[in-house]
Structure 1
Amino acid sequence: MNLIADFLLAAGAFSTAVYCLVLSRRLKRFTTLETGMGGAIAVLSAQVDDMTKALERARSSAQTSSAALDEQVSRAEAAAARLDLILASLHDLPQAPPAQDDPEDERRPRFVRRRPDRAGLRLAE
C-alpha cells in the first residue's frame, strides 16, 4: 500500500512539474515585449501617456478660450448698457419741427439712370 501511495505521489509531483513548465513557457511568450502581450501593453501605455498630454493641452486651450470669451461678453454687456443709456437720452430730446416744403425742390431736375438690358447679351463659352 505504501508503494502505491508513493507511486501516486511521485506521479502527481511529476505532472505538477510538467504543468509548471508549460505555464512558465506560456508566460514567457505572453510577456515578451516584442511580440507578446507585453508589447501590446507597452504600446497602450505609451498611447495613454500621449492622450493624457493631449487632454492637458486641450484643457489649457479651453481655459484660455473661456477667459477670452468671458472678457468679450463683459465688454459686450458694457457696450449694451452704454447703448441703452444713449437711447434713453435720445428719447428725452425734443422733436425736430417738421420740414417745410421748399418750392425750389420741385423745380430741380431729377435724373434716373437705367441699366442696359442684359437679356440680349450672350454668355461667353
Structure 2
Amino acid sequence: MDLISDILLVAGSFGAAIYCYVLSNRLKRFTTLESGMGGAIAVLSAEVDDMTVALERARGAANGSAESLEALTTRGEAVARKLELLVASLHDLPDGDPAAQPASGADPSPETERRLRVVRRRTPRTSLEAAE
C-alpha cells in the first residue's frame, strides 16, 4: 500500500511540475514587451497619456472661448441697451414734414432754431478685444 501511495505521489508531483513549466512559458510570452500583452499595455498606456494631454488642451481652449463669449455677450447687451435708448429718443425728434416747417418769411421760434447734436463715445478697448 505504501508503494502505491508513493507512486501516486510521485506521479502527482511530476504532473504539477509539467503544469508549472507550461504556465511559466505562457507567462513569459504574455509579458514580453515587443510582441505580447505587455507591449499592447505599454502602447495603450502611452495613448492614454497623449489623450489626457489633448483633453486638457481642449478643456483650456473651451474655457477661454467661453470667457471670450461671455465678455462679448455682456458687451452686446450693453450696446443693445444703448440702441434702445437711442431708438426711444428718436420718438422725441420733430418730423421732417415740409408742412411742419415755418414759412421762409415767418419768425423762427427757438424750438425750430435749435439743432440736435449726436455725441458718440468710444468705449476703451481691452487688449483681448483689440486682438480680435
Give the aligned length: 100
Aligned-pair Cα RMSD in Å: 1.4
| 2:33 match | 33
| 1:92 match | 92
Please report the TM-score for the alignment, with normalisation by the length of structure 1: 0.76
Seq. identity, %: 64
Q: Distance in 1 between matches of 2:78 and 2:10?
A: 91
Instruction: Give 1:93 shift.
Output: 2.0
Q: Distance in 2 between matches of 1:22 and 1:98?
A: 109
Residue segments in structure 2 that go unaligned for 5+ positions in a row: 101-132
Distance 1:86 1:4, change over 3 A: same
| 1:60 match | 60
Please report the TM-score for the alignment, with normalisation by the length of structure 2: 0.72
Instruction: Give 1:99 shift.
Output: 6.0
Q: Deviations over 1:26-66 (max 9, x none)?
A: 10011000111100100000000000000000000110011
Runs of 4+ in 1 over 3 A off after TM superposition: none
SS of aligned partner of 1:78: helix
Residue segments in structure 1 that go unaligned for 5+ positions in a row: 101-125
Q: Deviations over 1:58-84 (max 9, x none)?
A: 000110011111111111110001000
